């Protein structure tokens, strides 16, 4: 049996975009994702309102995907998150050397 190779797509967008990203990635072939909440610390991230610094809230979506599906899923994420536009977010892919816990993928 040949081992399946996986990638991890990491997507970081503003608060409120994660559900749209996950839905688009599912339609493109992903089985789901994990959403983590965070805050931005970049030089363009801080906003002032009445003299108070507002920390921008972020959503980080982690998508473990078979390498064969990475390109269409990443393309769907870019489109759904409007990542071609400045200041909307970032997505990147990293290869996974070992993956455990995806037992539903093993056939008997």
Q: What is the residue-wise DSSP string for 39-107?
A: E--STTT-EEETTEEEPPEEEEEEEEEEGGGHHHHHHHHHHHTTTTSTTSEEEEEEEES---S-GGG--
Displacement of CA 44 from its chain's centroid (Å): 21
Domain ranges of the chain: 6-100
* Contact status, residue 55 vs residue 72, Cβ threshold 8 Å: no
CATH 3.90.1110.10 describes domain 6-100: no
Low-confidence ranges of the chain (pLDDT < 70): 1-2, 42-55, 103-108
DSSP-derived letter for residue 15 is T
Helix (H, G, I), strand (E, B) or coil at 9: strand
* Contact status, residue 96 vs residue 7, Cβ threshold 8 Å: yes
pTM score of the predicted model: 0.83
């Amino acid at each position: 049996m040949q081992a399946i190779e996986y990638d991890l797509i990491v997507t970081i967008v503003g608060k409120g975009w994660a559900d749209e990203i996950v839905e688009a990635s599912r339609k493109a072939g992903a089985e789901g994702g994990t959403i983590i909440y965070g805050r931005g610390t970049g030089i363009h991230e801080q906003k002032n309102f009445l003299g108070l610094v507002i920390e921008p809230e972020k959503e980080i979506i982690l998508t473990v995907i078979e390498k064969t599906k990475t390109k269409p899923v990443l393309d769907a994420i870019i489109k759904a998150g409007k990542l071609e536009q400045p200041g909307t977010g970032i997505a990147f892919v990293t290869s996974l050397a070992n993956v455990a816990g995806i037992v539903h993928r093993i056939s008997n």
